[in-house]
Amino acid sequence: MTDARDKGLTLNPKYDDHGLITAVVTDVDSGEVLMVAHMNAQALALTVETGLAHFWSRSRQALWKKGETSGNMLAVRDIRIDCDQDAVWVKAVPAGPTCHTGARSCFFRRVGRDGLSLVD
């Protein structure tokens, strides 16, 4: 890790071998983690420019404007980047359920010593 990347004010994302960084989306009001996905440079730029969360779909290998088909877009209120610039934290207002299962958050199951259990 370099001091410039870790502490400086120049955006210099550390993309992985696939050209991606991790993106964590939280609900700006509840603080709940809604989803974790990935962004390439184009998705990050579009997210900053449009105020709507864009990702790179690893399964479809395509740019993914969240909510383009479901309508459940994520209106971005704040974007932060971490020390080594390989992850961003997006605070957003979700237009509807974020998860493809219909759950508000993709994190609808608790991990315990005895396996998983539903939350909410």
Which residues, in sequence order, are CB contacts of 102 under 8 Å at separation 6+? none
Chain residues that interact with a copy of itself, rule: CB under 8 A: 1, 6-11, 22, 24, 26, 30-33, 35-36, 44, 48-49, 59, 78-84, 86-89, 99-101, 103, 106-113, 115-119
29 is in an annotated binding site: no
Was 86 annotated as part of a binding site?
A: yes
Contact assessment for residue 88 and residue 18, using Cβ atoms and an 8 Å cutoff: no
| CA 96 from centre of chain | 16
Least separation in angstroms between residue 117's CB and a copy of itself is 7
- In the complex with a copy of itself, the residue whose CB is nearer, 95 or 103, is 103
Residues 47 and 26: their CA atoms lie apart, in Å, by 15
Task: For residue 106, list its beta bridge partners.
Answer: none
CA 109 to chain centre: 19
Q: Which is nearer to a copy of itself, 24 or 52 (CB)?
A: 24
* Residue 84 labelled as part of a binding site: yes
> Residues at the annotated binding site for Mg(2+)?
82, 84, 86
